[in-house]
Amino acid sequence: MDAARLFHDCWKIYRQYYGINMGEKDWEQFVDEIESVYTKHRKEALAKDLLVAIEAELERMNKREKR
């Protein structure tokens, strides 16, 4: 696995969705993108861990913004 490419792909997703108050369509697109990155990186454990962490952080941010 090329860790640098994985980190770059994860950073691109995080940067794209950071600070956005995401609606249902945004979440659907986000899920499609993280599934694509996960598959691209052969479903490696590190890919899963990073993508789950990004999802959790974006969910926390979204909940804070909706308060």
Tens digit of each residue's pLDDT (9 = 90 or more) over 36-56? 999 999 999 999 999 999 999
Percent of the chain with pLDDT over 90: 88
Give the pLDDT score at 67: 67
* Model confidence at 66: pLDDT above 80: no
Per the model's pLDDT, the better-predicted residue between 41 and 21 turns out to be: 41
**Measured between alpha carbons, how far is 43 from 32 in angstroms, rounded to an integer?**
14
**Confidence grade of residue 65 (pLDDT, cut at 50, 70, 90):** confident
**Measured between alpha carbons, how far is 29 from 26 in angstroms, rounded to an integer?**
5
pTM: 0.91
